[in-house]
Amino acid sequence: MMERATRVGNRLLAALPPADFALLAPHLRKVPLLHDAVLVRSGDRIEHLYFPCSGAIALIMELPNGQTAATAVIGNDGAVGLMTALGPVRSPLTAVVRVAGTALQISPARFQAALERSPAIANAVQIVTRAMMTQFLHVAACNALHSVEARLARWLLHIHDRTDGGDILPLTQETLSELLGVRRTTVTHVVSALRASRAIKSNRRGQLEIDRQRLEVVACECYKVMSRRIDRIVSQDAVRLLHAAPARNGCPPPDFPFAKTDS
C-alpha cells in the first residue's frame, strides 16, 4: 500500500483496488498546483476534480461584503470538487492553492461514469465527505471558542502537515488574514505574539519559519483532536471498505497511473 501511495501520490486514490483505479487512470492528468492559483470560485460550476498529490489547498467562504474565512485545508488525503458526485452543481466555496504542489485532475463526467460502475469509488466519496464535514465542524467550533493566536497556530500546523518543504511556509499576511477571517492589522499583532513565544522563528515577506514543537503548545486542543479524527476516517481501517466489491469492468490495472502529464 505504501509503495502504491507513493506512486499514485493521493492517499485516497492509492487505496482503491486496482480494477477500480483502472476506471479513473486513463482520464487522470497530473497538473501543477501553482501558488495562489484559484481552482474554482464560489458560485462557479465545478469543471474539474482535483486529487492533490502534494501541496495544500484552502477552501474559502466568501461573504457578500467581501470578507473571507477559511473552512478547511486539503492535502493528499482528500479531494476538491467531489460535490459533482451529486450531479452538476455550483461550488459553494472558493478553492485556492496556498502551498504549491501537484494534483491529479479529472472531469466531472469521467469521474461520474467511473463512480456509477464502482462501489469502491462511491465509498471513497463518502470517506472524503465525512473527513470534510469533520473539518468544517471543528473549524466552526474553534472559531467561536478559541483565541486568534491558538487558531493561527492550528492552521499553520494543518498546512505544515500537508507540505514537504520543511519549516518554512509560503504564507503572506493576506493569506493569514483570509485563513483567520480577521484584518491584516490583527494578523500583525498575532504573528508578533507567536514570534515572542518563538513558535514563529521569522516572518520574512511571504514566508513564515515555524518551530513546530512550540506551535503545538500554542495551538488549541482542536488541532490534535481534528487530526486524529480525520486520520482515522482516511486510515487504512476505513479504506478497507473500498475493497468490499469489485468494479464492474474486469480490467487489469494500467501500466501507467496517468494518461497525461501537464508541465
In angstroms, the CA 131 to CA 224 distance is 14
Mind listing the pLDDT tens digit for each residue in 156-179? 999 998 887 688 899 988 899 988
Per-residue confidence (pLDDT) for residue 114, from 0 to 100: 94
Domains of the chain plus CATH, in order, are 1-108+115-145 (2.60.120.10), 147-219 (1.10.10.10)
Q: Tell which wins on pLDDT, 154 or 260.
A: 154
Mind listing the pLDDT tens digit for each residue in 1-58? 434 444 778 988 988 888 999 999 999 999 999 999 999 999 999 999 999 999 999 9
Name 133's bridge partners. none
Per-residue confidence (pLDDT) for residue 255, from 0 to 100: 41
Q: Is the pLDDT of residue 196 over 60?
A: yes
What is the 3-class SS of 193-211, one letter each residue? HHHHCCCEEECCCCCEEEC
Q: Is the pLDDT of residue 251 over 50?
A: no
Across the chain, mean pLDDT equals: 84
Which residues neighbour 6 within 8 Å (Cβ) at sequence distance 6 or greater? none
Per-residue pLDDT, averaged over 199-206, amounts to 85
